[in-house]
Amino acid sequence: MERHNLKEYKTTSFWMNGVDEEIIFWNYAPALEMDITIARELVRDRLAYTHGRSVYALIDVTNLKTTTKEARDFMNSKDGGLKGLLGGAFLSNNVVATLLVNLYLKVNTPAIPARFFTNRQDALNWLLKIKMENAVLK
């Protein structure tokens, strides 16, 4: 998959696929240990990347090593990590990251559509599906 408009930050990188600018792709930096400071930085960087537009996100969490409860709570708040997100597909084949995301989704139940995947194309197809469903509802 080609990466269009790639922007790399200290803790993450964002890009688009060149086809749909309402879907961004997002990777964490290697061995990321997310605390509240990094969580705030991630959200600030994403909002800067999207210029405040609301988007769908395919988030590869493979590199996520740990996260604090405070960071998880912030990432699940409408004024924090959910700000500007219409839906999120989490992707990983890393056992630790998979456990963290599945725990997050079960305990926190995000206020936006969110699912976990181990296959990038399945995750993208799901985002396209919910995007289409939301367009029909408007």
pLDDT the model gives residue 3 = 84
More confident residue, 24 or 1: 24
Per-residue pLDDT tens digits for 107-126: 767 789 999 899 999 999 99
In what helix (H) or strand (E) does residue 7 lie, and over which residues does it extend?
Answer: strand 4-8
Per-residue pLDDT tens digits for 46-87: 999 999 999 999 999 999 988 899 998 999 999 999 999 999
pLDDT the model gives residue 32 = 95
Beta strands (DSSP E) in 9-109 are: 12-16, 23-28, 32-34, 55-60, 64-67, 85-91
* Token output for 80: 């924090």
What gap in Å lies between CA 22 and CA 102, rounded to an integer? 25
| Residue 1 banded pLDDT, cuts 50, 70, 90 | low
Q: Which residues face 16 on adjacent strands? A: 4
Based on the number of CB atoms within 10 Å of its own CB, is 46 exposed (0-12), middle (13-18) or buried (19 or more)?
A: buried
Q: Which residues face 23 on adjacent strands? A: 56
Closest CA to 119 of 60, 65, 56: 60
Q: Are strands 85-91 and 64-67 parallel, antiparallel or unpaired?
A: unpaired
